[in-house]
A and B are shown apart, each in its own frame.
Chain A
Amino acid sequence: MTAPGNTAGTEDVLDALAPGFADPVLDAQRCFRALLDAMARPGRVQRIAAPCGAPAPLGPAAAAALLTLTDAGTPVWLDAGAAVASWLRFHTGCPLAADPGAASFVLACGAPPPLAALDAGTEEEPHHSTTLILQVAGLAEGEGWRLTGPGIAREHRLAVQGLPSEFVATWAANRMRFPRGVDVILCAGDRLAALPRTVAIGEPA
């Protein structure tokens, strides 16, 4: 599972180790609740109140989501550098995947890998798909995209800054594969919103 190329050299980055959740049990439970709400109400922004000392470039929301969701059974692929990799390995013990397609969780701080390259699960077991944790520049409600789908009464407006321009088109392709598909958690600072595979993104008129 662990690829030599992606494994952080532990000795030189151990000095940069930072603490995780202050209260590992309660903070992880609170964050899990926020993630559940985010998935149940697509596009609604949740605030993560539990601070943890994650190394740059990881923001508090993305760091909390990773601490909450990953463990020794979930391979993670990330593009955030050796300091983040060793911090995550230390706190969660998750293996690092060499290829985004082999990971259960993918963390993208820069340009995300194409959604089609990620594991979308199988028709029998669609829940085995990858969850993409995407760190973006900003999230704002009440403007931007028109989200529709399960969990949204009519439509929900969400504006996301810092996404590649082709994201909406690749998202439409991802949605066509239902029940297979990738779920996305958008994180900006201490705020996060989720895009489960069922949600449809409409461009603002």
Chain B
Amino acid sequence: MGVLARASAAAITDQLQAVPELPAHIRLRGPETGLVMVRGRQGGDGAPFNLGEMTVTRCTVRLAGGQVGHAYVAGRDARQAELAAVLDAALQDPAWQGVLMTQVIAPLAKDQARRATQQARKAAATRVDFFTLATMR
């Protein structure tokens, strides 16, 4: 679900080209956009405080087979929320799970991991080691 929440609608659609057409679905709720309050804790274990609101789009669908899928994604992309909900429902079906995991979820996860490493490497190149100042004296 985390992989689908981070993938754009275009990326999910691209990966879905490789699999047969997903079963038909009806929308139970949404896709609809709203705000959720993000809460934080100072230091990770302090008293909770309200950090701020973020835009979230949610969708719930039911497939012809009866599986119900939910999705909450950051931002306002209704298409992404609906695709993620349909995939969430289809992944509960054993007949679909294998092919979707290998053809859709795994490539998306791989692509996201590659981009995260690339960004981490870029950031690492600008790293400043403050202890050097102390040792250079």
Seen from chain A, the residues whose Cβ lies within 8 Å of a Cβ on chain B are 14-15, 17-20, 24, 90-91
Contact = CB atoms under 8 A, between A and B. Distances in A.
A205 B32 CA distance: 53
A19 B32 CA distance: 14
Interface stretch (B21-29, B78-86, B94-102, B108-116): B21-29
B68 A20 contact: no
A90 B29 contact: yes
Contacts of A91: 29
A90 B28 CA distance: 10
10 contacts: A15-B66, A15-B67, A17-B28, A17-B60, A18-B28, A19-B26, A19-B27, A19-B29, A20-B29, A90-B29
Main DSSP-derived SS at the B contact region: strand
Interface of B: 26-29, 32, 60, 62, 66-68
Contact of A14 (B27, B29, B32, B68): B68
Contacts of B32: 24
Nearest to A91: B29
B28 to A, nearest CB: 5
A20 B30 CA distance: 10
A17 B68 contact: yes
A20 B29 CA distance: 7
Contacts of A18: 28
Contacts of A17: 28, 60, 62, 68
A15 B32 CA distance: 21
